[in-house]
Structure 1
Amino acid sequence: MSEDSVSEGIRTWITATDRRLLGTVIGITTVVFTLLALASTPSIDGAVGTVRRVFFFGLVYALVVLALNLQWGYAGLFNIGIAGFMMIGVYAMAILTTQIGLPYPIAIVVAVAVTALFGAIVSLPALRLRADYLAIVTLAFAEIVRSILSSRQFSETTLAGYDVGFGGATGPDAPPDPLKFLLYEEPGSLVSEPNAVGELYFSVLAPLGIDDSTAEALLYILFLVVMVGLFYTLLSRLGSSPFGRVLKAIREDEMVARSLGKDTRVFKIKAFTLGAALMGFAAILWFLESGGARPSNFQSQTTFFIFVALIVGGSGSNLGSVVGGFVFGTFLLQGPEVIETIIGQQLDPQANPQTIFDAFGGFDPLVAYTIDNLASIRIILLGIFLIYLIKNRPEGIVGKRKETASSIDLEQRGGDS
């Protein structure tokens, strides 16, 4: 058997396994949250809305984690300023569309380019700094960005003759969801009638008990699925290209890559810049559907969550990034909220405990305290899960699938002559 046929066979096996794994994860998520949603509401529309929200967070986290995998999983660049790049992308797009008046496609391209520019500037320290030092620089950058964009001084200003502003604590006004242009006559107005496409689409889902707003949100989920597929394809092709193989070589041993004649500085800058641009684009897709973003959406906790999602799936693997982001966004992030809703509706606790000691005064106070402090309890449970994962399965859910720098299977020995 020739070396090419062996390599092709390995790639085919991985592709089939990837499909089975993704199908299993999506199937389990759909079944679990459909049952939980039906337990929390008898309405089909309400249940569909709950599952849609869960899938939304799973998909947007998959997008950002894929971008982070390019920097950390491929090149080993420790970027903990993810929230800052996301914020730049969202704010730039919102200002360009609602305040300057650029068309949607142009505004998104310019916003992504602006995010890439900031990524290139921040990546310059990567030429001299490594590991925790680079992490400190990126963290400081993210906090500087959040402080500037949330400041009252820059809430309203003038730029090149345009009255623009960052909106302070409330953020800038966001443009309408781009898919509204596909469904409505005047998507920007408060009252707008569906166009021919919208009427047809809504009429198909109406007999199932799904109202127009939920149907519109479901369409955005399909759009995000397509975008995750495009991100995955782009980064997989990039990873298997000569550029991607150099990045993986830098991750394993930068000195060896440099000794082979590769300018590792340039490769790291390109990887960091492209990753930052993809983070900005993913953030635009994230917050377009929710109607805008505020500085409070971009705390350091956001960066922490994204890193946890990458660890959950498996760093260095695009499949691990998708699985980790999806599992984290659905089960670990949204799962407790869905369970909280069910507990609150089914048990309806009347107690109002003020401290954790009061909560142990009986079943009703314990349930009430758990519901009121879900955010804190979720962080504790997330920490426990992360410790367990690192101790028992440090390679993540996907397993030992880190993509190597070699384009052939180096484990094969001998062969048919």
Structure 2
Amino acid sequence: MDWGSILSNTLAWVISPETIAYALAALGLAVHFGYGGLLNFGMAGFMALGAYGYAISILSFDLPWWAGIIVGCLASVVFAFILGIPTLRLRADYLAIVTIAAAEIVRLLFTTQVFDEFTNSADGLGNYHAGFRAANPIPEGIYGFGPWELNANQWWVRIFGILLLAVAALLVFLLMRSPWGRVLKGIREDEDAVRALGKNVFAYKMQALVVGGVFGALGGVVLALPSAVVPSVYVTSLTFFIWTILLLGGAATVFGPLLGSVIFWVIMAFLSNVLPALVKADVLPFMSSTQASTLRYVLVGVALMLIVIFRPQGILGNKKELTFVK
């Protein structure tokens, strides 16, 4: 096996757009679940709205790229209100069911041909990159070394994504150390006690849903920056991957989602390279290369179960912070 190539392909994912996008979405989920106790299984819907809001505003309405990002975030805010007003009074398990359904409804709306003029239905959207790339301050050329040897546009996507992620992490850090954040964590622990103190629990939950949803939308934008927006990406498994990242790094932490995303994608990239190589080397003669590539999802699922059983607080988390392990 070519271990040099495997290692190079794996390390490239440390700062990939997917790693950054999923870290942003996991940070939003940390606000929802880790700090607010909201069992949201619809983060894929927020990411889809961010990506489609960005692409549609550029292609159909000829808005600048930065305005497209704002439109994507506003779309997630509207979705949060539509989702939250009837559901935030539900018990956690019912909220989870509703959010899964809501995210799937969003994906199907982008797939249907009713809005084909704007969404291009199942084929998705592309060719909206000109404005963002024109704003690239990096001169044309190839920069970096080893697995991180990239052209100017590739670096621009990564640098912009990392800047968004840094700002989002700083905001969460400051919010959770503010009075608002302390009330939100109190709601997670015992919302009846917080309500007895005169706080509007519903309003705080709604605010948390909006804030976390905006981070999810930004994750969707970063995911859309280097490629295309295709509805088949925003399926339920995407949300489950984000949950895996959150639980791996630590739910009630700021830097846990960032660390979890890097570890998750490095492991996924390593397995996607090494498992087919093992098949070709006859180490796994009973499998095809396609089956070996699929096996990585099985291994990730097993890893998630082991994390929840043996270290539910994650790598950086505090076990006392998680309600579901008390």
The alignment's TM-score, normalised by the length of structure 1, stands at 0.70
- What is the DSSP-based 3-state SS (H/G/I as helix, E as strand, rest coil) of the residue aligned with 2:113? coil
Tell me the equivalent position of 1:384: 302
Q: CA RMSD for the aligned pairs?
A: 2.7
> Is 1:310 the counterpart of 2:246 in the alignment?
yes
Q: 8 Å contact 2:45–2:102 — kept in the other structure?
A: yes
Contact 1:126 1:268 in 2 (8 A): no
In the TM superposition, residue 375 of structure 1 has moved relative to its aligned partner by 4.3
Paired amino acid for 2:266: T
Structure 2: how far apart are the matches of 1:317 and 1:246? 16
Q: Which residue of 2 aligns with 1:365?
A: 285
Q: Which residue of 2 aligns with 1:397?
A: 315
Q: Which residue in 2 is equivalent to 1:295?
A: 231
Partner of 2:5: 39
Report 1:5-404 matches (<5 A): 36=3, 38-40=4-6, 47=8, 51-56=11-16, 57-156=18-117, 165-176=118-129, 180-183=133-136, 197-199=138-140, 202=141, 205=143, 214-289=151-226, 291-331=227-267, 333-340=268-275, 343=277, 348=280, 363=283, 365-366=285-286, 369-400=287-318
> Judging changes above 3 Å, is the alpha-carbon distance between structure 1 residues 211 and 111 closer, same or farther for their aligned structure 2 residues?
closer
**Secondary structure, aligned partner of 1:136:** helix
1:125–1:134: 8 Å Cα contact kept in structure 2?
no
Name the SS of the counterpart of 2:62 in structure 1: coil
Give the equivalent residue in structure 2 for 1:160. none
Q: CA deviation at 1:286?
A: 1.5
Give the direction of change, closer, same or farther, for the CA distance of 1:212–1:239 in structure 2 (3 Å limit): closer
Give distance in 2, aligned partners of 1:253 and 1:242: 16
What do residues 258-279 of structure 1 show as CA deviations (whole Å, max 9, x unaligned)? 0111000111111111211221
Question: CA 1:210 to 1:65, structure 2 compared with 1: closer, same or farther past 3 Å?
Answer: closer
Aligned-residue offset at 1:311: 0.9
- 8 Å CA contact 1:83–1:303 kept in 2: the answer is yes
In structure 2, list runs of 5 or more residues that go unmatched.
none
Is the 8 Å Cα contact of residues 52 and 217 (structure 1) preserved in structure 2? no
CA positional deviation for 1:154: 2.2
What amino acid does structure 2 have at the position aligned with 1:39? S
Asked if the contact 1:182/1:198 (under 8 Å) is kept, the reply is: no
1: distance between equivalents of 2:107 and 2:65?
Answer: 24
* Larger CA deviation: 68-77 vs 218-227: 218-227
Residue 285 (structure 1) shift: 1.0
Q: Distance in 1 between matches of 2:88 and 2:147?
A: 54
Shift of the alpha carbon at 1:348?
Answer: 4.1
SS in 1 for 2:115: coil
Deviation at 1:364, TM superposition (A): 6.5
**In 1, distance between residues paired with 2:103 and 2:259?**
26
Relative to structure 1, is the Cα distance of residues 234 and 377 closer, same or farther in structure 2, using a 3 angstrom cutoff? same
How far off its partner does 1:221 sit?
Answer: 2.3
What per-residue deviation string (whole Å, max 9, x for no partner) do you get for residues 116-143 of structure 1? 1111110112342121111111111111
Normalization by structure 2: what TM-score? 0.88
Distance in 2 between residues matched to 1:396 and 1:211, nearest whole Å = 28
| Kept in 2: contact 1:76–1:250 (CA 8 A) | yes
Contact 1:60 1:224 in 2 (8 A): yes
In structure 2, the residue corresponding to 1:222 is in which secondary structure? Answer: helix
> Equivalents in 2 of 1:215, 1:105: separation in Å?
19
CA distance in 2, matches of 1:138, 1:271: 15
Q: Is the 8 A contact 1:77 1:131 kept in 2?
A: yes
Counterparts of 2:273 and 2:284, CA distance in 1: 19
- Check the 8 A contact 1:59/1:224 in 2, yes or no: yes
Larger gyration radius, structure 1 or structure 2: 1
Q: CA deviation at 1:85?
A: 1.3
What is the letter of the counterpart of residue 252 of structure 2? G
SS of 1:198's partner is coil
Task: State the SS of the aligned residue for 2:119.
Answer: coil
Residue segments in structure 1 that go unaligned for 5+ positions in a row: 1-34, 42-46, 157-164, 185-196, 350-361, 405-417
The secondary structure found in structure 1 opposite 2:126 is: coil
Higher RCO by CA contacts (8 Å cutoff, separation 6 or greater) = 2
User: Counterparts of 1:323 and 1:183 in 2: how far apart (Å)?
Assistant: 27
Decide whether the 8 Å contact of 1:69 with 1:316 is kept in 2. Answer: yes
Aligned counterparts of 2:259 and 2:149: Cα–Cα separation in 1:
30
Distance of aligned partners of 1:374 and 1:154 in 2 relative to their CA distance in 1, 3 Å threshold: farther
